[in-house]
Structure 1
Amino acid sequence: MLNQFLRSVVEAGHDWLQRDKPQARDIQTLCSDLMQVKGEATIAALAHDIVSAYYALDAAALDAWFDYLLTECDLNPDQVIDAAQAYKESRAPDSLRMLMQAAEAARQNLFRRINQAQGGTAMLVDMRAKLLAHLKARPEWMCIDLDLRHLLSSWFNRGFLSIRRIDWQTSASILEKIMQYESVHKMHGWDDLRRRLADDRRCYAFFHPALPHEPLIFVEVALVHGLAGSVDNILSKAAEITPPDQRDTAIFYSINDCQAGLRGISFGDFLIKKVVSELQSEATGIVAFSTLSPLPGFRKWIAQECAIKDGDNLADAQREVLLRLETCTSFDDLEPYGPFLKALCAHYLLEVQEDGKPVDPVARFHLRNGAELNRINWFGDRSDNGFNQSFGLLVNYVYDVSSIEKNHEDYVHHGRIAVSDSVRKLQTTLAGALPETMPKTPREKAEE
Structure 2
Amino acid sequence: MAIVDSWASARAAKQVLTLAHKLLSERGQANSLGLAHDVAGRMAALTPEAWPTVFDRLAADFNPDPAAVLRAAQAYADAPGTETLRALTEASEPPRQELFRRLNRSPGGTATLVRMRRRLLDGLKSHPDWRMVDADLHHLLSSWFNPGFLEMRQVDWNSPAQLLEQIIHHEAVHAIDGWEDLRRRLLPDRRLFAFFHPQLPSEPLIFVEVALLPEMPASIAPLIEKRAEPMPPASYKTAVFYSISNCEPGLRGVSLGNFLIKRVAEHLRRELPRLKLFCTLSPIPGFAAWLQAVRALDDLSHLKRAQRDRAMEALDRVRHHTPAALATPGALEDEALQDDLRRLAAVYLIGQTPLPGGDPVARFHLDNGARLERLNIGGDRSPKGLRQSHGLMVNYLYDLDRIEEHHEAFIQGDIATSRAVAGLL
Alignment correspondent of 1:16: none
For residue 97 of structure 2, the aligned residue among 108, 112, 124 is 108
Tell me the alpha carbon deviations over residues 224-253 of structure 1, each in whole angstroms, 9 at most, x when there is no partner. Answer: 111111110010111111111111000100
Alignment correspondent of 1:411: 410
Alignment correspondent of 1:396: 395
Q: Does 1:147 align with 2:136?
A: yes
Distance 1:404 1:74 in 2: 41
Alignment correspondent of 1:173: 162
CA distance 1:92–1:354, change in 2 (3 Å)? closer
Tell me the alpha carbon deviations over residues 296-353 of structure 1, each in whole angstroms, 9 at most, x when there is no partner. Answer: 1101101202xx4x66465366324224151314111342122111111111111225
Tell me if structure 2 keeps the 8 A contact 1:358–1:364: no
AA partner of residue 388 (structure 1): R
Alignment correspondent of 2:331: 333
Tell me if structure 2 keeps the 8 A contact 1:47–1:114: yes
Spell out the pairing of 1:307-386 with structure 2 (5 A cutoff).
308=295, 312=298, 315=312, 318-328=315-325, 329-336=327-334, 337-355=337-355, 359-386=358-385
Distance 1:70 1:163 in 2: 35
CA distance 1:397–1:25, change in 2 (3 Å)? closer
CA distance 1:233–1:141, change in 2 (3 Å)? same
Alignment correspondent of 1:273: 262
Distance 1:67 1:318 in 2: 47
Tell me if structure 2 keeps the 8 A contact 1:373–1:420: yes
Q: Give 1:176 shift.
A: 0.9
Distance 2:344 2:297 in 1: 15
Q: Does 1:283 align with 2:278?
A: no
Spell out the pairing of 1:176-191 with structure 2 (5 A cutoff).
176-191=165-180
AA partner of residue 395 (structure 1): V
Identity of aligned residues (%): 46
Larger CA deviation: 378-387 vs 334-343: 334-343
AA partner of residue 398 (structure 2): Y
Q: Does 1:132 align with 2:129?
A: no
Q: Give 1:269 shift.
A: 1.3
CA distance 1:317–1:215, change in 2 (3 Å)? closer
Taking structure 1 as the reference length, what is the TM-score of the superposition? 0.85
SS of equivalent residue, structure 1 residue 374? strand
Tell me if structure 1 keeps the 8 A contact 2:72–2:87: yes
Tell me if structure 2 keeps the 8 A contact 1:223–1:248: yes
SS of equivalent residue, structure 2 residue 153? strand
Distance 1:137 1:283 in 2: 50
AA partner of residue 129 (structure 2): E
CA distance 1:358–1:290, change in 2 (3 Å)? farther
Tell me if structure 1 keeps the 8 A contact 2:153–2:196: yes
Distance 1:222 1:180 in 2: 20
Q: Does 1:81 align with 2:70?
A: yes
Distance 1:311 1:342 in 2: 16
Distance 1:244 1:112 in 2: 48
Tell me if structure 1 keeps the 8 A contact 2:370–2:416: yes
Q: Give 1:118 shift.
A: 0.7
AA partner of residue 79 (structure 1): A
Distance 1:87 1:101 in 2: 12
SS of equivalent residue, structure 2 residue 321? helix
Tell me if structure 2 keeps the 8 A contact 1:350–1:358: no
Alignment correspondent of 2:10: none
Higher CA-based Rg: 1
Q: Does 1:247 align with 2:236?
A: yes
Tell me the alpha carbon deviations over residues 45-98 of structure 1, each in whole angstroms, 9 at most, x when there is no partner. Answer: 111111111122122311111111111111112211111001111224332222
CA distance 1:316–1:233, change in 2 (3 Å)? closer
Distance 1:419 1:354 in 2: 14
CA distance 1:321–1:113, change in 2 (3 Å)? same
CA distance 1:348–1:217, change in 2 (3 Å)? same
AA partner of residue 171 (structure 1): P
Q: Give 1:175 shift.
A: 1.0
Distance 1:301 1:154 in 2: 35
Q: Give 1:143 shift.
A: 0.4
Taking structure 2 as the reference length, what is the TM-score of the superposition? 0.90
CA distance 1:93–1:406, change in 2 (3 Å)? closer
SS of equivalent residue, structure 1 residue 150? helix
Tell me if structure 2 keeps the 8 A contact 1:75–1:103: yes
Distance 2:358 2:151 in 1: 31
Deviating beyond 6 angstroms after TM superposition, the runs of 4 or more aligned structure 1 residues are none
Tell me the alpha carbon deviations over residues 130-149 of structure 1, each in whole angstroms, 9 at most, x when there is no partner. Answer: 11111100000000011111
Tell me if structure 1 keeps the 8 A contact 2:314–2:344: no
Distance 1:315 1:207 in 2: 47
Q: CA RMSD for the aligned pairs?
A: 1.8
AA partner of residue 86 (structure 1): A
SS of equivalent residue, structure 2 residue 324? coil
